[in-house]
Amino acid sequence: MENITGTELILACSAIGAGLAVIAGIGPGIGQGIAAGHAAAAVGRNPGAKGDIMSTMLLGQAVAETTGLYGLLVALLLLFVKPLVP
């Protein structure tokens, strides 16, 4: 059995942390799909309000997407910026 050095442990934990951070993209994906579905149903009920519905939906989706982008940023930082490696 081979001993794991501190550097290898840090790199392994960084990879595991990056994988967990990418999971943050699941929530925004589900939320945006639900929002788009409800917006499509709302346009179907009231086609005259399409512009208002679409602009409100797109604004909400942009806000929701920031969570996924933050998760991606954290994952990239953990993978490619290794400040604790001696």
Q: What is the mean pLDDT of residues 3-12?
A: 83
What domain count does the chain have?
Answer: 1
pLDDT at 12: 87
Residue 50 in domain? yes
Q: Which residues of 14-32 are buried (b: 16+ CB within 10 A; e: fewer)?
A: beeebeebbebbeebeebb
Q: What is the pLDDT of residue 40?
A: 93
Residue 21 counted as domain residue: yes
Q: Is residue 49 part of a domain?
A: yes
72 closest CA partner among 36, 33, 29, 13: 29
More confident residue, 37 or 10: 37
Q: What's the pTM?
A: 0.74
pLDDT in tens, 18-62: 999 999 889 888 988 999 999 999 999 999 999 999 999 999 899
User: What CATH number should be reported for the domain holding residue 58?
Assistant: 1.20.20.10
Segments forming the whole domain that contains residue 45? 6-79
Does some domain include residue 85? Answer: no
1 within a domain of the structure (yes/no): no
